[in-house]
Structure 1
Amino acid sequence: MAKKNDTAGPTTAATRALRAAGIRFVPHAYRHDAAATDFGAEAARELGIEPARVFKTLMVETDAGLGIGIVSVRDQLDLKALAGELGSKKAAMADRAVAERKSGYVVGGISPVGQRTRLDTVVDDAATQFPTIFVSGGRRGFDIEIAPADLLTAVGGRIARIRRNSGDD
């Protein structure tokens, strides 16, 4: 990873929270295409990294409340596995408006770090195979590179397998 808290890239709630906590990260800005809808694939392509290292932040609703699952963009979230990790039987994707209001970010730019409402967070165990992963930095066209352990510290999260089989596990 590059030097600690390089100042390239925009300042967002995520970067402010990481800097305040003294957590190492590297900002990576790229040109976002307004027509893009697969934000993770766009980030991987524009940053020239393998999609397995780019992780998406997904908000879910359970009978226990809202929660966050973080999985690679090449994988799909296993809602039942995440529900179990969050202490529920079932989970469904949160409504877009709810996700934006609770996180303080827009869909496609929802960072797991610096959210308006801190939620129970689970990071898929695939993240541990990499020294660093990429997650949204708080806006479309901006990712942060961070060590999985540092991400867990930043969000108060934990690791568990919450992805569906992608065929190349």
Structure 2
Amino acid sequence: MAATRGTQMLTKAGVAFALHPYDYDPNAEKIGLAAAAALGLDPALMLKTLMVEVDGKPACCVIPAGDSLSMKKVAAAFGGKAAAMMPVPKAEKLTGYHVGGISPFGTQRPVPVVIEAAPCTAAKVWINAGQRGLLLSIAPADALRVLGAKAAPLTA
């Protein structure tokens, strides 16, 4: 399994993580839930990475795979007035990753990150490692620290 920019970033920062490859299904209706099912994970701890724009500025939200963003909560978490999903081509260009493999770690251009507060109390969460079909497990505190992120309510 080749290293991704995300795994390289974590290794360089000295953060402990484990890799979990799985069979990626490009036709899955909900990719994060399909990944959780493939690995037998609790969907509440399988986190998906969503790129957004808050007042026109790029930002990253990390939330449980089965949840939906509340744009009102997203705007508040980043101290803005309005939030919207980032268009796919823009998200792929900004992160350097393809949708289905976007990770908050090792993005082409660093952006502010907020992680949903609820799973941050768990011992471990699973997040995309920067490649379709590859997750990493990490302690939420380590993810928050290495990303310079904060935990806040983001879901509807």
TM-score range, shorter chain: over 0.9
- C-alpha separation between the residues in 1 aligned to 2:75 and 2:111? 13
| CA deviation string 1:93-119 (max 9, x = no partner) | 000011000011001110010001111
Q: 1:89 aligns with which of 81, 97, 120?
A: 81
SS at match of 1:51: coil
Give the % identical residues. Answer: 37
| 1:57 aligns to 2:49 (yes or no) | yes
- 2:38 matches 1:46: yes
The root-mean-square deviation of aligned C-alpha atoms, in Å, is: 1.1
Q: Please give the per-residue CA displacement for 1:39-61, whole angstroms capped at 9, x wherever unaligned.
A: 10111011111111100111111
Secondary structure, in 3 states, of the residue corresponding to 2:36? helix
Using the TM superposition, give the Cα deviation of residue 163 of structure 1 relative to its aligned residue in structure 2, in angstroms: 1.0
SS in 2 for 1:52: coil
TM-score norm. by structure 1 comes to: 0.89
Q: How many residues align?
A: 156
Deviation at 1:37, TM superposition (A): 4.0
What does 1:10-159 align with in structure 2 at a 5 Å threshold? 10-63=2-55, 65-159=57-151
Q: Is the 8 A contact 1:71 1:163 kept in 2?
A: yes
Q: Measure how far apart 1:35 and its partner are.
A: 2.4
Runs (4+) of structure 1 exceeding 6 A deviation are: none
The CA distance in 2 between the partners of 1:154 and 1:105, in whole Å, is 19
SS of structure 1 residue aligned to 2:44: helix
Structure 2 unaligned regions, length at least 5: none
Query: For 2:92 and 2:29, how far apart are their aligned partners in 1?
Result: 16
Unaligned runs of 5+ in 1: 1-8, 165-169
Q: For 1:57 and 1:121, how far apart are their aligned partners in 2?
A: 10
